[in-house]
């Protein structure tokens, strides 16, 4: 993971500069943006300027992406024409793996989601993220970061499941699982996974991240790039339609 994300980022950017590329877009993640704070009990979405440190990286994926972004910024400071984009939680069609966000929808549709953790995410249509990359290449300022998210996409998991239920006709789980209980279950899942070689149903890194409400403010990308703002409900509707036409277990 570190070889691909960190060393690979350096190799590709240096090769692109050597080949004379005039615009280079590096895909990071909102996991490298500072965590939201609470003000009077309300979560305040964070933006590209929110301070963050490597100590906040809760798993190897986030840590390797953070180190890769540091590399991208260092090379940009030395003259590489790099723009950085930080997608939030993309959903939509053609999620063949599926991704962690897509797996939430697959598990919901298959009724394999008995409960939920009281967390929150910024949902964005995957097509808007794709377009955001192109817009960053065309309009982005060198050395700048852009959150590719949706201004109306900051939803709690309970709100997310309610929308999924409305769109799909599948009833939403009502059991809210305490984070500590989910964490213990994740440790158990990881232990079983180490023996069986199968992916854990509740990855430890994902549960650790779920402790925080991951709300973000994409105003800069909307203002400077013209980032599209497809309603999150449409993103979920498109994802549900695609998954139902391409069943995944």
Catalogue all structural domains in the chain, each as residue range(s) with its CATH number: 2-245 (3.40.50.720)
* Mean pLDDT value across the chain: 90
> Helix (H, G, I), strand (E, B), or coil: what is residue 30?
helix
Query: CA geometry: angle at 146 spanning 144 and 147, to 5°?
Result: 150
pTM equals 0.89
* Spatial distance between the Cα atoms of 205 and 181, rounded to a whole number of angstroms: 15
Helix, strand, coil % over all residues of the chain, rounded to 5: 50, 15, 35
By the 8 A CB rule, do 43 and 36 touch? yes
pLDDT at 203: 64
For residue 237, the model assigns a pLDDT of 98
Q: Where are the alpha helices (DSSP H) in the chain?
A: 2, 8-18, 60-77, 100-109, 126-139, 157-168, 179-196, 204-209, 219-225, 232-245
pLDDT at residue 209, as a whole number: 62
The torsion angles phi and psi of 114, rounded to 5 degrees, stand at -70, -25
**15 dihedral zone (left: phi>0; alpha: psi -120 to 50; beta):** alpha
For residues 52 and 35, is the Cβ–Cβ distance under 8 A?
A: yes
88-127 pLDDT, tens per residue? Answer: 999 999 999 999 899 999 999 999 988 888 889 999 999 9
Locate all alpha helices (DSSP H) within 27-123, ordered by sequence. Answer: 60-77, 100-109
Tens of pLDDT, residues 121-176: 999 999 999 999 999 999 999 999 999 999 999 999 999 999 999 999 999 999 88
């Amino acid at each position: 993971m570190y070889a691909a994300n960190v060393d690979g980022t350096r190799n590709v950017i240096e090769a692109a500069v050597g080949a004379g590329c005039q615009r280079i877009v590096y895909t990071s993640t909102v996991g490298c943006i500072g965590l939201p704070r609470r003000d009077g009990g309300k979560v305040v979405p964070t933006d590209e300027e929110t301070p963050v440190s490597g100590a906040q990286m809760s798993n190897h994926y986030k840590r390797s992406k953070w180190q890769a972004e540091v590399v991208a910024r260092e090379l940009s400071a030395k003259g590489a024409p790099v723009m950085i984009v930080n997608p939030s939680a993309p959903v939509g069609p053609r999620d063949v793996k599926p991704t962690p966000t897509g797996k939430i929808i697959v598990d919901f549709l298959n009724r394999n989601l008995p409960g939920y953790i009281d967390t929150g995410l910024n949902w964005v249509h995957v097509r808007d993220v794709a377009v955001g990359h192109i817009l960053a290449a065309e309009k982005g300022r060198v050395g700048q970061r852009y959150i590719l998210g949706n201004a109306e996409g900051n939803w709690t998991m309970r709100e997310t499941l309610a929308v999924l239920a409305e769109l799909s006709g599948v009833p939403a789980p009502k059991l809210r699982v305490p984070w500590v209980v989910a964490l213990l279950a994740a440790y158990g899942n990881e232990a079983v996974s180490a023996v069986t070689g199968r992916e854990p149903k509740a990855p430890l890194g994902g549960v650790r991240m779920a402790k925080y409400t991951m709300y973000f403010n994409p105003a800069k990308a909307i203002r400077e790039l013209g980032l599209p703002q497809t309603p999150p409900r449409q993103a979920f509707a498109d994802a549900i339609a695609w998954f139902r036409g391409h069943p995944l277990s």
